[in-house]
Amino acid sequence: MGRVMHDLIPSGADPLRIAVIDTDSGFLQVLGKRLERLGWEHRVLAGAVPVESLVAMRLSAVVVDLATLGPAAWEYLDKLTTGLPGLGVIVCTGQSTVAQRVRGLRLGADDWLGKPCHPEELIARIEAVVRRRRRSEDRSAAPIAAGEIEIRSDRFQAFVGDRSIDLTRREFELIELLAGAEGRVLEREEIYQRVWGYAMARGDRSVDVFVRKLRQKLEKASPDWRYIHTHFGVGYRFAPEPVDGEPPAPRPELSVVPDPASADAERLAAALR
């Protein structure tokens, strides 16, 4: 077999640090040897650990076998992706259904790989996830102002004033992508490729579902503005527009309007003086 070249991560970058939540000893042994050759730091965890503990490990990515987590797997995956929005999450587990894979990706997993798999494929997927995230971190952290909304890439959130809109990681990646297009229409396939990281399957409606949820949150937080516009059969465009066609103006101060009857009475009194 030819040698696999791992040149996706720049040579000057810090070694990757990953955790693997798995109990498959044979797979872990082979994977561990390859990771050591690459100079990656890795920790094997036999089960779910508190999200706070993962924060302390300063990981680049975590690989999760959902079978290891038992009945609480989905809840833990949700906590993981919500609590650590900057962490790459790759699910590497046994036989699964399409519904399960879709559920995992919608909960915020960056990738899903079925077992049995070759460790080199898993490593390549980890590299791809980390590469995308580093690219995102390299972008300017300056907030994006749009209508009443401020998009903060350094906090993975959007705000109206001091109020957070409370976006999931995937929703934030979506609004950041749309807003960064500066009014250009993005096709569904492009959105899926850039947010989910791979080609969109035929008939997949994930983009439409996430856009609908994001639009609802934006309109609830900023009801005087419309942000996401649908281009039927093509995709979506982000362009803040006031609902009534004009930016909401501050409420004018109330002024006292003279009563006509009082004015007539004053003029009559002046004539009699």
pLDDT for 254: 36
Domain 144-242 has CATH 3.55.50.30: no
pLDDT for 136: 62
**Beta-sheet strands, E only, within the chain:** 17-21, 41-45, 61-64, 88-93, 111-114, 144-146, 149-152, 157-160, 163-164, 186-187, 225-231, 235-242
- Write out the DSSP string of 112-176: EEESS--HHHHHHHHHHHHHHHHHHHHS--PPEEETTEEEETTTTEEEETTEE----HHHHHHHH
Tokens of residue 7, six digits: 């040149």
Q: May I ask the CATH class of domain 17-138?
A: alpha beta
Question: Helix axis angle, 119-138 relative to 25-38, nearest 10°?
Answer: 50
pLDDT for 3: 37
pLDDT of 138 > 80? The answer is no
| Distance of alpha carbon 67 from alpha carbon 115, whole angstroms | 11
Task: Cite the residue boundaries of each domain of the chain with CATH code 3.40.50.2300.
Answer: 17-138
| Distance of alpha carbon 93 from alpha carbon 116, whole angstroms | 8
Report the alpha-carbon angle 178-182-186, nearest 5.
Answer: 45
Task: Cite the residue boundaries of each domain of the chain with CATH code 1.10.10.10.
Answer: 144-242
State pLDDT tens for residues 93-130: 998 999 999 999 988 899 999 988 899 999 999 998 98
Peptide bond into 143 cis (omega under 30): no
pLDDT for 247: 54
26's enclosing H/E stretch is helix 25-38
pLDDT for 1: 35
State pLDDT tens for residues 214-263: 999 999 999 999 999 999 989 999 999 998 866 555 434 433 344 444 44
> Does pTM surpass 0.85?
no
